[in-house]
């Protein structure tokens, strides 16, 4: 029996700070496999290990479906766990009154829903968004934008003659987006005109001739702020945060590269998280920080399990780094996922067997080996050869780009529909136990932090 469970008391203090970590596509299967991956990396068998957040005292399960789909995408789920409202697939920051692609439904703000970032800002707290994807991608976008289509990241993506605002524009000009103090991730191209090139010589993607990075700087200065735009790891690590009150860090033209492929010019998730906490902690009223490990999801879509597990391990490192920087008595930390994936973990291998390799029991009935990890669908499908399953012994499974076997051929592996885990530590973390709808999460956070228009712990 774990003694802390016997002796622990409920923390009912107001959460001054809140950090919400989101592993995009981080299924429970992904967690189990990552334990082994990480453990074996350091000479252990692996199964007995816990990721940093798996040691949190309270856990629960969240149901992830959209209003109109039984398997969620990152847009409808992001709207749920960031605003408290279930939405339709493919839509960001809008109620289910708006179907995907309905520009008229987006305009006017009638169906717009705001959530944790907005509530924290109105309570006088500092706010931040950190991600390893484009900062305009569906998950981070749900924290500040309202879009009838998650793909409308830049004006170039909008339908012809559309009068809707793209997501990048909403980050710079929107009421919520423009007030975020720290934004870090990728996606520079969505902020620059095609006539401009970024710091690495990559052309912009916009067709409206705007330089939204420069506009962000001018807007912040016009409000009396001291903003700083950065675009590489050295700038991040050497930045004197005491000299600035807001930071925009765009470290790649598109998504940040996978950790296994990143150069020294690109910061890792834990570094961005640490720097964000440093800056946001200067606010005497506390802060709300949203951190996404977004490339877990993209790796799963490619059925590249090695990369997916490594990105999950990076998220765990970021959580561990955050824990060391905050007061656990006044900081609520939540770690969860938006949806699962179709990766399975099977066979009857002996302890110590390479999680990314073959099972070490008998071959399948066709006398060929099979992998411990595989997918229900995706690009890893390989056609039978002479009426026999593809022999995986012929492949280089140590290559990070090896696509793990899939049952159904499809160019991009799909999400899964099962519940995802929720881990909680800090004030009112006991609220996050049990099984609940995904859109319960932000309401419970708001209750603990005394933010938002609803019932809070300060009104008890």
Is 283:120 a contact under the CB 8 Å cutoff?
Answer: no
149 is in an annotated binding site: no
- Cα separation, 221 vs 191, in Å, equals 18
354 is in an annotated binding site: no
14 is in an annotated binding site: no
373 has which bridge partners?
345
Establish whether 89 is a catalytic residue. Answer: no
From the candidates 7, 8, 52, 74, give the one annotated as an active-site residue: 74
- Cα separation, 295 vs 134, in Å, equals 10
Angle, helices 269-280/305-323, rounded to nearest 10 degrees: 30
Measure Cα distances from 395 to 38, 111, 161, 187, 398 in Å: 23, 51, 49, 34, 9
| DSSP string computed for 108-169 | TSTTB---HHHHHHHTT-EEEEEEEEETTSHHHHTTT--BS-TT-SSGGGSPTT--SPPHHH
415 is in an annotated binding site: yes
Is 446:452 a contact under the CB 8 Å cutoff?
Answer: yes
Is 438:8 a contact under the CB 8 Å cutoff?
Answer: no
341 is in an annotated binding site: no
The angle formed by the CA atoms of residues 374, 376 and 380, to the nearest 5 degrees, is 60
146 is in an annotated binding site: no
111 is in an annotated binding site: no
Q: Sheet harboring 434-437: ordered strands across? A: 227-230, 246-250, 182-186, 126-134, 287-293, 17-23, 331-337, 420-425, 58-63, 434-437
24 is in an annotated binding site: yes
Count CA atoms within 13 Å of residue 214 on its CB side: 8
264 is in an annotated binding site: no
Q: Which residues contact 424 (CB under 8 A, 6 or more apart)?
A: 56, 57, 58, 59, 60, 332, 333, 334, 335, 430, 431, 432, 433
- Cα separation, 142 vs 376, in Å, equals 28
Annotated binding residues for Mg(2+), written as ranges, equal 24, 137, 139, 292
Residues making up the annotated binding site for Zn(2+) are 24, 297, 301, 338-339, 415
Residues with a catalytic annotation lie at: 74
């Amino acid at each position: 029996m774990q003694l802390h469970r016997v002796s622990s008391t409920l923390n009912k203090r107001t959460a001054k700070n809140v950090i919400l970590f989101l592993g995009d596509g981080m299924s429970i299967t992904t967690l189990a496999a990552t334990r082994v991956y990480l453990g074996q990396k350091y000479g252990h068998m692996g199964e007995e290990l816990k990721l940093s957040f798996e040691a949190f005292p309270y856990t629960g399960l969240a149901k992830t479906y959209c209003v109109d789909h039984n398997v969620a995408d990152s847009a409808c789920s992001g709207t749920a766990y960031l605003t408290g409202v279930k939405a339709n697939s493919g839509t960001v920051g809008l109620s289910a009154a708006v179907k995907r692609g309905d520009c008229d439904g987006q305009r006017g703000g009638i169906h717009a829903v705001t959530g944790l970032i907005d509530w924290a800002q109105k309570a006088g707290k500092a706010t931040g968004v950190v991600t390893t994807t484009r900062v305009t991608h569906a998950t981070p976008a749900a924290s500040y934008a309202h879009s009838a289509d998650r793909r409308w990241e830049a004006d170039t993506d909008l339908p012809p003659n559309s009068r809707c605002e793209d997501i990048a524009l909403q980050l710079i000009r929107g009421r919520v987006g423009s007030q975020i103090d720290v934004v870090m991730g990728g996606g520079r191209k969505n902020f620059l005109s095609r006539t401009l090139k970024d710091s690495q010589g990559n052309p912009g993607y916009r067709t409206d001739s705007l330089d939204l990075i420069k506009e962000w700087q001018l807007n912040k200065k016009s409000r009396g702020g001291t903003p700083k735009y950065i675009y590489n790891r050295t700038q991040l690590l050497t930045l004197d945060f005491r000299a600035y009150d807001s930071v925009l860090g765009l470290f790649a033209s598109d998504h940040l590269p996978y950790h296994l492929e990143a150069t020294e010019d690109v910061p890792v998730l834990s570094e961005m998280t640490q720097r964000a906490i440093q800056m946001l902690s200067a606010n005497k009223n506390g802060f709300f920080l949203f951190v996404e490990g977004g490339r877990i999801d993209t790796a799963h879509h490619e059925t590249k399990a090695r990369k997916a597990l490594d990105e999950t391990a990076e998220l765990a490192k970021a959580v561990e780094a955050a824990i060391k920087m905050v007061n656990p008595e006044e900081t609520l930390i939540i770690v969860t996922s938006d949806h699962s994936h179709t990766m399975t973990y099977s066979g009857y291998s002996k302890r110590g067997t390479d999680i990314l390799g073959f099972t070490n029991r008998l071959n399948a009935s066709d006398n060929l080996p099979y992998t411990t990890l595989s997918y229900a669908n995706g690009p890893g499908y390989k056609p039978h050869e002479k009426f026999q399953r593809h022999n995986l012994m012929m492949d280089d499974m140590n290559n990070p780009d090896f696509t793990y076997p899939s049952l159904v051929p499809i160019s991009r592996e799909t999400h899964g529909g099962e519940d995802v885990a929720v881990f909680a530590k800090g004030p009112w973390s006991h609220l996050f136990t049990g099984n609940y709808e995904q859109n319960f999460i932000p309401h419970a956070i708001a209750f603990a932090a005394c933010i938002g228009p609803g019932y809070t712990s300060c009104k008890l």
